[in-house]
Amino acid sequence: MHPILFKLGPITVYTYGVFVFLGVLAGYLFCLEQAKKESIDTKVFSDILFWSIISGFLGARLFYIVIEFKQFMDDPIGIGLGRAGFVFYGGIIFGLPVFYFLARKHRLDFLNLTDLVILALPLAHAIGRIGCFFYGCCYGKPTDSWIGMKFAPDSPAGLLGVKIIPTQIISSLFLFLIFFLLLTLRKTRKFKGQIFLYYIIVYSIFRFIIEFYRGDPRGYLGSLSFSQVISLILIGGALILWPCLKCRDKLKV
């Protein structure tokens, strides 16, 4: 793997950071293009996206600190300011309320805007997961199967010294699949918020399954990881919201 992309004198450019940046940029540009098609003010839209993304990153880092609190107490600076260490669900939980508040502030249809933005989320996430692969974080369990890969000895995954399941690449491929699936489903959307609910259900099911193959340190509640518990809550919430949002749209017709 290649955790360092290149060096310019004292400046080190890490592959992980570059792919996270590329993911955010790709998602932003895609959203901007969709906003233009919907005749949404791009300046207002950019402002909403910017603060939602900032809140999302802060939430993702905070969730990681909470889950790995013991490790954080041992090395607060290293964990708090390290390159890796984000919990994706934390980003959604913190970013979504900010997105809702700003959408309402600018008098935009929150559900319609959410259906637009949610299309870009798996795209950005998929590209970011490639960065995880190069850095060697978010790795899978040891395996002797053909799918196993050996990582660089100085990477988090490489410290195990054995072949492991490349869950980063598996996740990235599935996220690209979700992106194209949502694009297709958007053409047959029956009510506002439907694409958002599709994403929550499909991604949460995948995340629940892939967690069984993750080998990096995980926070647990009983026999399930925190991410699996959140996945189950989100699936349940989405299934409850589905008929509610469907009826809401029909009543407005």
Q: What is the DSSP string of the chain?
A: --SEEEEETTEEEEHHHHHHHHHHHHHHHHHHHHHHHTT--HHHHHHHHHHHHHHHHHHHHHHHHHHTHHHHHHSHHHHHH-S----HHHHHHHHHHHHHHHHHHTT--HHHHHHHHTTHHHHHHHHHHHHHHHHT-S-B-B--STT-BPPPTTSTTGGG-S-B--HHHHHHHHHHHHHHHHHHHHTT--STTHHHHHHHHHHHHHHHHHGGGB-S---EETTEEHHHHHHHHHHHHHHHHHHHHHHHHHHH-
Residue 55 lies in a domain: yes
Residue 148 lies in a domain: yes
What's the domain range around 111?
Answer: 4-136+143-190
User: In the prediction, which pLDDT does 239 show?
Assistant: 96
Q: pTM, whole model, 2 decimals?
A: 0.87
Percentage of the residues of the chain whose pLDDT score is greater than 90: 56
Residue 158's pLDDT band (cuts 50, 70, 90): confident
User: In the prediction, which pLDDT does 205 show?
Assistant: 97
Residue 243 lies in a domain: no
User: How many structural domains does the chain have?
Assistant: 1
Residue 152's pLDDT band (cuts 50, 70, 90): confident
Average pLDDT score over the chain? 88
> Is residue 2's pLDDT more than 90?
no
pLDDT digits (tens, 9 = 90+) for 68-98: 766 666 666 665 555 556 777 888 889 999 9
